[in-house]
Amino acid sequence: MPVPVSIPIHHLSLSRYRFIAMALPPPLLTWPFLTVPNGAGQLSYPSLEDSVRQRIEVILRTRPGEQLMRPDFGGSLEEFLNQANSLTTRRRIHDRITDALSRWENRIVLDRVEVNEVPAQPSHLRVEIWYRIKRTGTARQLGLTLQLEA
């Protein structure tokens, strides 16, 4: 087994540096979203539950191609905004959410996704997502409303 060697970056050629960077495994931790200074001016970070919820929202709102270096990232729910509120559309939204969260948020176990009509508003859908955080086993629910055709 090779012994890791620390080499200052300025001693590496650019092509060798790229090779080393590509060989590194993906990080185990991701940067939490929305760091906000507290009253003392120190940065405070969201809790694990808030970080996961924020990440889910980012995944669902991001269109594939928006993030650099990850052209497939996102759930692209905006794609459904001008479509009819039909059983086919609701099924496609359900499948899109399930696929995107299973692929891009590995800190959760997705328990259930429901996409239902809003009775008083025929152009609206209510999406409910039930998930558990793997590290803590904490069950959470996230709900959002989509307005389809205007």
Give per-residue pLDDT as tens, 58-86.
999 999 888 888 889 999 898 998 899 99
Q: What is the mean predicted confidence (pLDDT) over 39-66? A: 88
Fold of 47-147: Nuclear Transport Factor 2; Chain: A, (3.10.450)
C-alpha to C-alpha distances, 9 to 23, 27, 136, nearest whole angstrom: 15, 20, 38
Q: What residue type is 135 in one-letter code?
A: R
Tokens of residue 23, six digits: 């060989």
Q: In what order do the strands lie in the sheet with 139-147?
A: 108-118, 121-133, 139-147
The residue whose two tokens read 């496609």 is 92
- Give the predicted TM-score (pTM) of the model: 0.71
Q: Give the model confidence (pLDDT) of 10-36 as tens digits.
A: 444 444 444 444 444 554 445 555 666
The β-bridge relationship of strands 36-37 and 108-118 is unpaired
Closest CA to 134 of 111, 100, 103, 112: 111
